[in-house]
């Protein structure tokens, strides 16, 4: 940390405030010398730098609807050689989501008519405008009228007793 005469007024003020907060002398020394980083990161090193990531961000923001292959080509032209998977991870880290938007064609009149007849025949569902009307079938399950055994026991699975 050095002697008191070697410190500037700003450094002395920083030391006083850190000591009042309860920091130890070694913590104050680390703060003044700039070595408050701690230990190194574990794991594999990143193959791209912050500068390379910034160039990728500029490429993505120029045209957000590019494929990953196109992004990789442009990033390689700017000087960063990576794989397609790395480009995908970096784009995900930036907050962009890579997906293919699904575009479906609308149903034509014949397909709508087929769908309507199928629904009427199989499920008993009638479509009329924006609202759906449900028609109850005669052979509907008897869940509405279940008789509970007087002994307090449970009904078995699939057993239905009418009242």
Please provide the distance, in angstroms rounded to a whole number, between the alpha carbons at the two ends of the chain: 89
pLDDT tens across 87-141, in order? 999 999 999 887 766 788 888 889 989 988 888 887 655 555 544 444 444 444 4
Residue 163 has pLDDT above 50, yes or no: no
- CB within 8 A of 161, min separation 6: which ones? 146, 147, 155
Residue in the block written with tokens 């078995």: 156
CB 68, CB 88: distance < 8 Å: yes
Cα torsion angle, 115, 119, 120, 126, sign:
negative
pLDDT tens across 148-158, in order? 555 555 545 55
**Region for residue 98 given its phi and psi (left: phi exceeds 0; alpha: psi -120 to 50; beta: otherwise):** beta
Residue 86 has pLDDT above 90, yes or no: yes
Paired tokens of 104: 């479906």
- CB within 8 A of 136, min separation 6: which ones? 124
Q: Which pLDDT does position 22 carry in this prediction?
A: 87
pLDDT tens across 28-71, in order? 887 777 665 556 778 888 899 999 999 999 999 999 889 899 99
Paired tokens of 34: 């700039």
CB 16, CB 8: distance < 8 Å: no
Domain spans of the chain, in order of start: 6-33, 50-93, 106-163
Q: Which pLDDT does position 106 carry in this prediction?
A: 83
User: 10: helix, coil or strand?
Assistant: helix
Residue in the block written with tokens 């014949």: 110
Q: Which pLDDT does position 28 carry in this prediction?
A: 83
């Amino acid at each position: 940390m050095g002697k008191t005469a070697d410190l500037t007024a700003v450094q002395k003020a920083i030391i006083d405030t850190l000591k009042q907060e309860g920091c130890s002398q070694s913590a104050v020394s680390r703060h003044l010398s700039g070595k408050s980083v701690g230990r190194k990161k574990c794991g594999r090193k990143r193959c791209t730098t912050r500068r390379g990531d910034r160039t990728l961000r500029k490429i993505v923001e120029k045209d957000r609807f590019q494929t990953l292959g196109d992004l990789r080509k442009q990033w390689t032209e700017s000087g960063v050689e990576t794989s397609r998977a790395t480009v995908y991870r970096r784009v995900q880290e930036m907050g962009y989501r890579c997906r293919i938007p699904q575009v479906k064609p609308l149903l034509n009149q014949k397909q709508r008519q087929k769908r309507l007849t199928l629904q009427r025949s199989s499920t008993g569902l009638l479509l009329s405008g924006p609202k759906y009307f449900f028609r109850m079938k005669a052979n509907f399950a008897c869940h509405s009228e279940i008789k509970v055994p007087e002994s307090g026991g449970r009904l078995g699975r699939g057993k239905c007793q009418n009242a």
